[in-house]
Structure 1
Amino acid sequence: MTTLSDFDAVGIDGRPVPLKQYQGQVVLVVNTASACGFTPQFAGLQALHERYAPQGLVVLGFPCNQFGRQDPGSNDEIAQFCERNYGVGFPMMSKVDVNGAAADPIFKWLTRAAPGLLGTTAVKWNFTKFLVGKDGRVLRRYAPQEAPAALSKDIEAALAA
């Protein structure tokens, strides 16, 4: 069985990030963009990070430029934007593709484990969210329009499990 701990990512600073380090924690994986109508969700994601990180939640942001070219900047520019405009303190990864042949393996796994509406595996837009339990298995997928605060009940349940 594959779990989140089986994957590695690359941090926005270019350093390797073995996701094994988050084993036993609840993880919220989000594909992000800096110039999207949903970009203000960074504030809500940061609020979740501040509220639940002490209890074991990790928010991981993965910038993506596949939807309307809404994150064209470099990793450095994205990191500066997120910190300056939203005070993002949760881990941000390097820009990835979430769909297609070049999709990051993490997103290939996430989308197969938690299909979207009508069983589709494609990520439909920026700020699609995936909640992963302490056991590293995907618990739920959330549509981009679902505000981060709306995930609180599910996050609390996952943290209590």
Structure 2
Amino acid sequence: MTEEAHRLLAFAAELNALQEELGPFGLVILGFPCNQFGKQEPGENSEILPSLKYVRPGGGFVPNFQLFEKGDVNGEKEQKFYTFLKNSCPPTTELLGSPDRLFWEPMKIHDIRWNFEKFLVGPDGIPVMRWYHRTTVNNGPHKSSTPSQCS
């Protein structure tokens, strides 16, 4: 298993554990597949769950949280939900990434940087925090993953 596949499997398992632990207190994890980062989600919507289970991360993984249909999180066709989140929360880093692995236009400073960037939204629908995509649930934040406070 590649390092990236191992990291993805561990992260997916962390999301399941977090949903199981905090779901009774009202936490709801939502997953929004996107193909704008390294073309990592090229399949059709009907292929996403089988792909998670058997390919990436594989190992029989089944999410216990809601997955939505694939869509754009950045650019001209970004989902309005993400426009709202990005306008409410500053980016977690100034670096956008390598343009040859990012597939949208126009690119903006508040854009989501990569798959698994995380937002915490309160029960009132107001965004509270935004985390860098490499921030893990169990092992503490990545060295450059200080969360940004949302307005």
- TM-score, normalization: structure 2? 0.70
- Structure 1: 5+ residue stretches without partners: 1-35, 152-161
Task: Count the aligned residue pairs.
Answer: 116
RMSD over equivalenced CA pairs, Å: 2.0
Report the AA paired with residue 71 of structure 1: E
Which residue in 1 is equivalent to 2:8?
A: 39
Give the secondary structure class of the aligned counterpart of 1:130: strand
Moved over 6 A (4+): none
**Deviation (angstroms), 1:86:** 2.0
Higher relative contact order (CA 8 A, sep 6+): 1
**Deviation (angstroms), 1:83:** 4.6
Is residue 54 from structure 1 mapped to residue 43 from structure 2 by the alignment? no
Greater C-alpha radius of gyration: 2
**Deviation (angstroms), 1:135:** 1.5
CA contact (8 A) 1:62 1:95 kept: yes
**Deviation (angstroms), 1:87:** 2.1
Is residue 140 from structure 1 mapped to residue 129 from structure 2 by the alignment? yes
CA contact (8 A) 2:49 2:62 kept: no
Give the secondary structure class of the aligned counterpart of 2:81: helix
How far apart in 1 are the matches of 2:23 and 2:136? Answer: 18
Q: Where is the strand percentage greater, Structure 1 or Structure 2?
A: 1
CA contact (8 A) 1:42 1:82 kept: no
**Percent of residue pairs identical:** 37
Counterparts of 1:83-102 in structure 2, within 5 Å, are 83=53, 85-102=60-77
Which residue in 1 is equivalent to 2:50?
A: 80
How far apart in 2 are the matches of 1:63 and 1:128? Answer: 11
